[in-house]
Chains A and B, each alone.
Chain A
């Protein structure tokens, strides 16, 4: 990762043994003054305690980015709130040095009846700029949001996406020393997202310390200098983003496997799906033969059913899709356990994490017996760092004396 000139100075954020406890009030707790007065101010004390964060420690140096991974309810947002100072910690200490900016509630202080222009100027001041600074940044903010032609229209005429863009543009122009980002890539279209990302990386390179919340492990892997994995309010792992992102993805798969979905008719149930190779490894080498095995359990006899299998990457993009109906196969099913397998002679996908998605249907597709989406992960192993979906067998040749000669590797090249 890039070394910023400031990365050797003292950390911008230090969090030590942080704990945050929420109290759950009694269900009898009066919500209104009248009620409380009538009850003689009883039932006001909290009933149960719940630690949203426990013993969390980390530090972020200027110019560094920390990625926080975790499932919903793991305490990610609470962590951001405590670091930002809007919620008090109950244990431990938080020290933040410098001006803070946040992409938490984008568009704070926006009012639908005011124009885009008025909202930008107010919101920039709310975000920490003086009016003079806000005016100086105004053109740059509007240019970033790409809303020049709408800027004098009332905000209520904007689409949600436009409002988010404007809010993001303001937030990113407050030039903070410490930036807290909550799932920022949900803003706007892809082009705008990458623009936001560029701007965040620019702030980082200028020495801004950033905490990024994400449940996208790839994002943390590629953007961050360190990662923190929160589970039920505790730090499950803290350190190298590569390692932690991998562990997080692996854990997510295990968790998904444990879930039971009963939204399908379940006459036949998918028991397990796994990829088998000659060698007993969790990852599969690209370009080798793979056997995808589907274990099922049936409650009755069927003359014919359809099995479908597709492979998708972590973003849900399907890279391969096939089913038994297109090949006009008959698959009779008996009561009890069974297995079917799809044998792929060569799987020429590039190296990444993928999921096997499997469905079992009636012969006319009218009924779904069972369907499992993104429950069974596997990994394709492939060494070159090339951004590619496919990795078909290929080699390079060079033309010499009207003949094509294959190129050889450095080691074997004879001079």
Chain B
């Protein structure tokens, strides 16, 4: 049994301020480290998706003819890239969190569960920093924003929770099995092709059994919802949002519990 009581009762308010400051400090640390050694700085975050956009849009649109029937193809593809990019990089980095931050998890007062939150938040900031580029591309495609864009923060919150739900168990799993990150890298790469980023699920070439996969995939629901509010100026289906919220409400506590139960062993195993 381990019990820690506040000796000079720390106010709840200080605790909240402390967690906010800790999260902020660690996110800023991540960003600073990332940009410190690169001349391009923030532009680097954009370069990767822009190059992907260039290559994949040529291949999918010109070679595979997957873009037929999609309006504003470049905006469509780029939004998909950015949305998936956030989750993909956050999950990949979160997996190596515990094994890669030995000094931090050995710090007595350090709240270890904050680490996946830091990673997902850092990913969110990269996503937000890339939005001006998306705005420019949308302007080139002559898309005008509708009021539906007000739902954008809600979708961000849903994606945040969904990503975090997976980040927790993956970070814990990598402590037991050190190849989790490599395996995950492969899976994420495959998911990239399985998700409607450069093509659409409405494509008539997609067989029916695959349609079922798309219909029940929360990531598909999420990407489609983003595109609805940003590109089409439409409200996403309420059922989809409820499914996302429901999945998040179930998976996040489970993922967190797995992480918490494993966290007792982190110091011993890392």
Binding site for B on A (CB under 8 A): 12, 22, 30-34, 36, 81-82, 84-89, 92-102, 104-105, 107-111, 113-114, 118, 121-122, 125-128, 130-132, 177, 180
Closest to A107 in B: B103
Question: Mind listing 8 A-B residue pairs with CB under 8 Å?
Answer: A32-B179, A87-B264, A93-B2, A98-B6, A100-B109, A105-B106, A109-B26, A126-B25
- Flag if A122 contacts B26 (CB, 8 Å): yes
Q: How many A-B contacts are there with CB distance less than 8 Å?
A: 128
Given A81-B267, A94-B3; 11 other pairs, CB 8 A cutoff: A12-B7, A22-B268, A30-B177, A33-B180, A99-B8, A101-B108, A104-B107, A105-B106, A108-B107, A121-B25, A130-B14
**How distant is the Cα of A351 from the Cα of B1 in the complex, in angstroms?**
46
Residue numbers in A under 8 Å from B26 (CB-CB): 109, 122, 126
Closest to A22 in B: B268
Closest to A112 in B: B33
Contact among A12, A81, A85, A125 for B21, CB-based, below 8 A: A125
- Flag if B10 contacts A99 (CB, 8 Å): yes
- Flag if A32 contacts B177 (CB, 8 Å): yes
Residue numbers in B under 8 Å from A108 (CB-CB): 103-104, 106-107, 110
Residue numbers in A under 8 Å from B5 (CB-CB): 95-98
- Is B105 an interface residue when CB atoms closer than 8 A count as contact? yes
**How distant is the Cα of A118 from the Cα of B5 in the complex, in angstroms?**
31
Residue numbers in A under 8 Å from B3 (CB-CB): 93-96
Interface flags for B67-109 (1: CB within 8 Å of A; 0: not) read 0000000000000000000000000000000000001111111
- Flag if B4 contacts A85 (CB, 8 Å): yes
Closest to A86 in B: B267
Please tell me the number of chain B residues within 8 Å of chain A, measured between CB atoms.
40
Residue numbers in A under 8 Å from B12 (CB-CB): none
- Is B36 an interface residue when CB atoms closer than 8 A count as contact? yes
- Flag if B108 contacts A85 (CB, 8 Å): yes
Residue numbers in A under 8 Å from B106 (CB-CB): 81, 86, 104-105, 108
- Flag if A114 contacts B33 (CB, 8 Å): yes
Contact among B21, B105, B107 for A102, CB-based, below 8 A: B107
Closest to A14 in B: B3
**How distant is the Cα of A330 from the Cα of B107 in the complex, in angstroms?**
62
- What's the nearest-Cβ distance from chain B to residue A103, in Å? 10
Residue numbers in B under 8 Å from A125 (CB-CB): 21-22, 25
- Is B37 an interface residue when CB atoms closer than 8 A count as contact? yes
Residue numbers in A under 8 Å from B173 (CB-CB): 33
**How distant is the Cα of A110 from the Cα of B29 in the complex, in angstroms?**
10
- Flag if A113 contacts B33 (CB, 8 Å): yes
- Flag if A122 contacts B18 (CB, 8 Å): no
- Flag if A99 contacts B109 (CB, 8 Å): yes
